[in-house]
Structure 1
Amino acid sequence: MAKRWLITGCSSGLGQALAARLAAEGEQVLATARRPETLDALVARHPGTVVAAALDVRDPAQCVAAVERAVDAFGGVDVLVNNAAYGQFGTFEEVSDAELAAQFDTNVFGPWRLTRAVLPVWRAQRHGHAVFVSSVAGMVPFPGLAAYTASKFAVEGAAESLAAEAGHLGVKVTILQPGGFATGYSGNLVMPEQRIPEYTAVSDGLLGALRSMNTKIEVNSPELFADVVWRLSQLESPPLRLPVGPDSETFLEAAYDARRSEYDQVVKAGHHTLA
C-alpha cells in the first residue's frame, strides 16, 4: 500500500532525489521548497503522484499549511522527512548571535515546528514516522562548523525525546546520519561575517574539503540516500539511528569508540565522584 509523504527541502540534493525515487515507486509525495517553482519539473514527471507546496520551515504558518495541504491531497501523512537545512561555517568565536539564531531557526526549530504540526494527524491515525535528516556532525564535532554541529546535536536530542514521548501513539522516529554527499550543501554554505586569522589553521582545511565535495567521485550520491530511505520505510520496526553511506559508518564508529574510551578513563580515575 502506498504511503503518504511530506518532505522538506526538495528543490535540490537529497530531498529532490528522495521525492523522485518515491514517486517512481508509486508513493504519494508532498514535495516542498521555499521556491515551489523549482519543483515544476518533478511534478511534471509525476503528475498526480507528486504535489508541490511552498514551505519555509522558519514560518510557523507555512508549516501548518503544508500539513493541511498533505491531508487535503492524500487524506493524511504517513512519513515526514525533515530534510531542509543549511550549513553555517565558522568557529565558535567567529559566529555571531544572529548567525547562530538563523542556523537554529532552520535546522532545529523548523523540524520541531513542522513535526509538532503533524503530530495531531498522527495521534488521530495512531501511526506515523518522523524522519530527521541529521549528519555525522550530529555526533562528530568538526572544527569550523560549530553552529552546524550544535544544531545537529540538538536535532538528535529532540528526535530521541519525541521517540520516548510519542512511541505509545504509534509514532516511529528515525535519525538519519549521512556522511558526505554530492549535494548543494557546499554551495549553500554560509560564511560568517567575521573571520579570525588565528583559527584558519584548524578550519580552512575543512572548508576546502566541503567546497570540493560536489566534484569528488568518491562522495556518495543523493540516489544512495534515496534508496536507503525507501528501504527504511519498508521496515516494520525502523531503527532510531541509521548511518547513511560508508564514510558515515567510519566516522560514527570512531566517535562511539572515543566516547566509550573517555568515559571508561574518567570512571576508572574516579573523577566522576568529585572525591
Structure 2
Amino acid sequence: MERRWLVTGCSSGLGRAVATAAARAGDRVAVTARKAAALEELVRAWPGRVTPVELELRDADQCERAVRTAVERMGGIDVLVNNAGSGLFGTVEEVGDAELRDQLETLLVGPWRLTRLVLPLMRAQGHGHVVNVSSLGGRMAFPGLASYVAGKYALEGMSQALAAEVAPFGVRVTVAEPGVFATRYGASLAEAAHRLPVYAEATGEMLDGFRGMEDNQEYGRPEDFADTVLALVASEAATPLRVPIGEDAFAYLEVAEEAAREEFAAARALVGPGPLPPPAG
C-alpha cells in the first residue's frame, strides 16, 4: 500500500533518512526544510515521489501552507513525522526567556501545530499515524540541556494524551526515542548567549561530547533509524507508544528507569501512604 508522508527537518540526518527510506519503499513524501535548496538532492533522487516544501516550523502560516501543499500534491497525508528540531546548550540559569521560548516553539509548539492541522484529514479518512521524534532527553535529563529536555518531555506528554484522544478514529501515535546517531545535531547545537564560567566544570564535558557527532563511526546510522520508523508505521500489530531506537537508547533508558524506581521507593518510604508527619517540637 502506497503511503503519503509529511516529514519535517529533511535537510540532513534522521529526517532525510526517513524521507529517503519512504521514497525507496514506493511511497510519496512531502519533505520540508527551512531552505528549499537543501532538498534539491532528494527531489532529483526521487522524481515524482518527493515534494519539497520550505518550512520554518515556528511560522504558523508556513505550517498551514506546508500541510496544504502536501494535500494538494499527494491527495492527503497518512503519516506525519515531526522530526525537525534544534538544540540549545545552556543551564537553567544561563538560558534567557527569549531563548527558551524559541526552543519550545521548535520542539513543542511547531509539532503540536502540525499535528493539529493534519488530524482532521486523518480522522476523516479513518486512519493515520503521527510519529513524534523525541530523544533520550524526553525521559532523562542532561546538564546543560535544560531547555531541550523541557521541550522533549513536553512533546512526550502531549503524545501520550494525543494517543488516547485519537485512537477511536484509527489514528496511531508513536514517540521515537533515538539514541546517539551520527547527525549534525552536535555541530549545529547553539549555546546560550550568556554563559557563566561557574558552570563550566558541570557542563563542559557534555558539550564537548556533542561536537563531532556526524563523523563518529561508533554512533548509530540514520538509515537504521529510518528502517525502524518504516517498520513501526507498516506494522499491523499494536506497538508501544514510546519506542527507544538504538542499543544505546535501551541501555541509557534502562538506567534511567531503574533510577526512577529507586527514587519512587525512596519517596514512598519518606512520605508513606499519608502526608509527612509534622516536625517535632
TM over 0.5: yes
Cα-to-partner distance string for 1:122-179 (whole Å, 9 max, x where unaligned):
1111111000000000011000100001110010001111111111111110001011
For structure 1, the 5+ residue unaligned runs are none
Larger gyration radius, structure 1 or structure 2: 2
Matches within 5 A, 1:11-160: 11-160=11-160
CA–CA distance in structure 2, aligned partners of residues 96 and 85 of structure 1? 19
Residue 10 (structure 2) aligns with: 10
What SS does the aligned partner of 1:186 have? helix
CA contact (8 A) 2:187 2:212 kept: no
Residue 179 (structure 1) aligns with: 179
Sequence identity percentage = 48
CA contact (8 A) 2:184 2:213 kept: no
Residue 274 (structure 2) aligns with: 273
Cα-to-partner distance string for 1:45-88 (whole Å, 9 max, x where unaligned):
11111111111111111111111111111211110000000100
4+ residue runs over 6 A deviation: none
Residue 194 (structure 1) aligns with: 194
CA–CA distance in structure 2, aligned partners of residues 242 and 87 of structure 1? 21
CA–CA distance in structure 2, aligned partners of residues 47 and 238 of structure 1? 32
Pick closer, same or farther for the CA change 1:4–1:238 going to 2, 3 Å.
Answer: farther
CA contact (8 A) 2:18 2:229 kept: yes
What SS does the aligned partner of 1:273 have? coil
- Tell me the number of residue pairs that the alignment of Structure 1 and Structure 2 aligns: 275
CA contact (8 A) 1:176 1:241 kept: yes
Structural RMSD (CA)? 1.1
What SS does the aligned partner of 1:129 have? strand
Residue 251 (structure 2) aligns with: 250
Cα-to-partner distance string for 1:15-45 (whole Å, 9 max, x where unaligned):
1111111111111100111111111111111
Residue 279 (structure 2) aligns with: none
CA–CA distance in structure 1, aligned partners of residues 273 and 115 of structure 2? 37
Amino acid at match of 2:265: D
For structure 2, the 5+ residue unaligned runs are 277-281
CA contact (8 A) 1:94 1:196 kept: yes
CA–CA distance in structure 2, aligned partners of residues 251 and 120 of structure 1? 37
Pick closer, same or farther for the CA change 1:32–1:274 going to 2, 3 Å.
Answer: same
CA contact (8 A) 1:266 1:272 kept: no
Q: Which moved more, 1:102-111 or 1:225-234?
A: 225-234
Q: Which moved more, 1:162-171 or 1:133-142?
A: 162-171
Cα-to-partner distance string for 1:191-221 (whole Å, 9 max, x where unaligned):
1111111111110100000003223221111
What SS does the aligned partner of 1:22 have? helix
Amino acid at match of 1:85: G
Amino acid at match of 1:259: A
